[in-house]
């Protein structure tokens, strides 16, 4: 009888320890909940896949947090170009990413997708590419080491989200 009383207590302790461990990890479900509740919602146009939507959302959150290191961690390929590009993007778009942002997704997103971010507070636009990388995980292409190139608006994108039917340029 005494042993039966200990089993629920041990199970409860194990459950609490597991929950505490998950809450401490950077990529646990609590991180997403915390990020989601502490940032402006991302508005979307077009047809993102689950993977492309998640990586774009995280990209905008890292910009809003002015966290170049975490943004570089989302890169498809690691390296100094990703680190430099992340710093450039944070400098150019970090402040505006804290407000209303609309992501216009072009084409289908099974392995790669071009996305134009519209920053309402500043009127800026930024075209990014997200794609599958190693181990079939989504990442963002960070290869703009020149600050002027990193801050440049795409000349092919419409002035407002959805203006071209969310298709690739030239289609």
**Confidence category of residue 17, pLDDT binned at 50, 70, 90:** very low
- Residues 7, 99: Cα–Cα separation, whole Å: 50
Q: Give tens-digit pLDDT for 82-129.
A: 999 999 999 999 999 999 999 999 988 899 999 999 999 999 999 999
**Confidence category of residue 3, pLDDT binned at 50, 70, 90:** low
Number of residues assigned to the chain = 171
Q: Which domains does the chain have, with CATH numbers?
A: 41-171 (3.10.450)
């Amino acid at each position: 009888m005494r042993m039966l009383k200990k089993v629920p207590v041990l199970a409860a302790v194990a459950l609490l320890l597991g929950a505490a461990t998950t809450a401490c990890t950077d990529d646990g479900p609590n991180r997403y909940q915390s990020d989601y509740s502490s940032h402006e919602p991302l508005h979307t146009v077009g047809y993102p896949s689950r993977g492309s939507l998640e990586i774009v959302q995280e990209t905008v959150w890292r910009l809003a947090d002015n966290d170049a290191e975490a943004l570089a961690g989302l890169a498809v390929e690691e390296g100094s170009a990703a680190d430099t590009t992340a710093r450039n993007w944070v400098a150019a778009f970090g402040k505006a990413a804290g407000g209303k942002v609309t992501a216009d997704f072009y084409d289908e997103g099974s392995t790669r997708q071009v996305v134009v971010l519209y920053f309402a507070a500043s009127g800026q636009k930024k075209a990014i590419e997200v794609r599958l990388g190693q181990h079939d995980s989504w990442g963002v292409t960070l290869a703009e080491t020149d600050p002027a190139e990193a801050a440049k608006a795409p000349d092919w994108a419409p002035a407002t989200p959805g203006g071209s039917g969310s298709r690739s340029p030239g289609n």
